[in-house]
Structure 1
């Protein structure tokens, strides 16, 4: 037993020694200059402008950069960004009228041996004329997405893996779709004349002061969904596995709520007498008004969570 242990210790020591030798070799290859091991070369600030003629869409594909899209009083799209030898942007207008912005990162051998010290994360800022009427699609892997102060958009589609998404002061003539994996998802002061679709795996979802003239759906796996001062003309569906469903001053005629192991609580605008109420929980407590006989519907269920819902008069 001791001999096997000794052999393992010798192997581990040999691997550590080999790693040290390789590190020293890499250090020597760059003239014993730590700065040379940093794969980030000097950053250059750049600007790009494009008019709205023939433009019907803006498509932004980021990686680890923060993407900020905001309304402006200009008559052109202005793009402000930073580049170096390893991080570049490709900007082109497609034949179908979409302005595409793609972020690329050049792979570097130093990134694979533990000597990548460039922790800078760039920000690309895109100012869009408020008169722009078209599609905006933005996606990122680990960067944040921020979209604000635009009142004439056609459709908005945003997604990221581990960054945060923030939508504020938007009026969209059709659909808003936002999805995230592990970052927060926040919408405030938004109006969608079509549907609103929200999906988040483990990040918090917050919706404040929204007007949805179509249907609304919001799903989560392990974090809460929090809806405040929002009116939905169509059907509303909120679903979560282990995150709470919370709502305050929610105006909706047809509402379906479901969780597995978390609580559901909130206040609906209106009179409970106008709602047919269906509620069930296998092991949680139920605190709801009696079902009415109107043409509105509240259908709520939880496997093991409590359900606590009341109604508030519409002011």
Structure 2
């Protein structure tokens, strides 16, 4: 009889724990439905010539960079009683924006993320001399219809990076994990450095004056490059995939460096 009791007791205890956990989860989810999170839209503006660098970090948000209709930088975002932002301009004219949170473990139980409010939009004037650095996660980074005299450095994970109709004077560096990179009609007078892991890297009519560096792991690299084949010196390498580029080609004023691991390389040159 004692042996039977020893076998049954752990099952009874575990069953009680499971019931208790389930009850907590249901109560928390129900509470979120009865008392939905309230967001407040906020904005920040500053003259572009007062800023030399824009830095966004620890965002855990999607970020959109678009064209401003005036000579100011405008930032639109959403806050609630658990999540807010700190915006500051340093003595070196660096505009720094960081996300702050005071969430507890219970705030994540039954959470259904509201993508509409988990977004930051930056509007910048044409030819802005400031550089931009964006570091986020679990969100996309989109750049559309912008012209920037500085450099752009954008990094995310579990989110896409898209750039369309973009002109950059200096350099453009992008990196993501577990999603794709899409560059369309991107013109950079300096260099482009794009890296993706567990995703594809697709480009369409991408132009550089210096170097184009494309790297993928567990994904393919496809698309079109503006310029003739002859103006590029080429270095390419593929592992476990097909490659339509030569491994090495000398000559040319521009550099093309492409590598893919467990994916194909298929790039064409267009005018």
Contact 1:190 1:209 in 2 (8 A): yes
Candidates 72, 85, 89, aligned match of 2:85 = 89
Contact 1:197 1:218 in 2 (8 A): yes
Instruction: Please give the alpha-carbon distance, in whole angstroms, between the structure 2 residues aligned to 1:27 and 1:305.
Output: 44
Contact 1:244 1:264 in 2 (8 A): no
CA deviation string 1:222-256 (max 9, x = no partner): 32222211222212222223321212243252333
1:298-309 matched pairs, under 5 angstroms? none
Instruction: Please give the alpha-carbon distance, in whole angstroms, between the structure 2 residues aligned to 1:63 and 1:257.
Output: 34
The residue number in structure 2 matching 1:262 is 241
The number of equivalent residue pairs is 264
Q: What is the RMSD computed on CA atoms of the aligned residues?
A: 4.0
Instruction: Please give the alpha-carbon distance, in whole angstroms, between the structure 1 residues aligned to 2:32 and 2:160.
Output: 36
Contact 1:168 1:189 in 2 (8 A): yes
Quick check: 1:43 aligned with 2:39?
A: yes
Instruction: Please give the alpha-carbon distance, in whole angstroms, between the structure 1 residues aligned to 2:84 and 2:265.
Output: 51
Point out the more displaced range, 96-105 or 116-125.
116-125
Unpaired segments of 5 or more residues in structure 1? Answer: 131-149, 267-276, 280-290
1:214-293 matched pairs, under 5 angstroms? 214-251=190-227, 253-265=232-244, 278=247
Once the two structures are TM-superposed, the CA of residue 263 in structure 1 deviates from its matched residue by 2.9
Contact 1:265 1:309 in 2 (8 A): yes
Instruction: Please give the alpha-carbon distance, in whole angstroms, between the structure 2 residues aligned to 1:239 and 1:245.
Output: 8
Q: Which structure: larger Rg?
A: 1
Contact 2:186 2:206 in 1 (8 A): yes
Instruction: Please give the alpha-carbon distance, in whole angstroms, between the structure 1 residues aligned to 2:19 and 2:262.
Output: 54
By relative contact order (CA 8 Å, sep 6+), the higher-ranking structure is: 2
The normalised TM-score by structure 1 is 0.65
Instruction: Please give the alpha-carbon distance, in whole angstroms, between the structure 1 residues aligned to 2:263 and 2:32.
Output: 56
1:107-186 matched pairs, under 5 angstroms? 107-108=103-104, 110-111=106-107, 114=109, 116-117=110-111, 119-121=113-115, 122-123=117-118, 125-126=120-121, 128=123, 130=125, 150-186=126-162
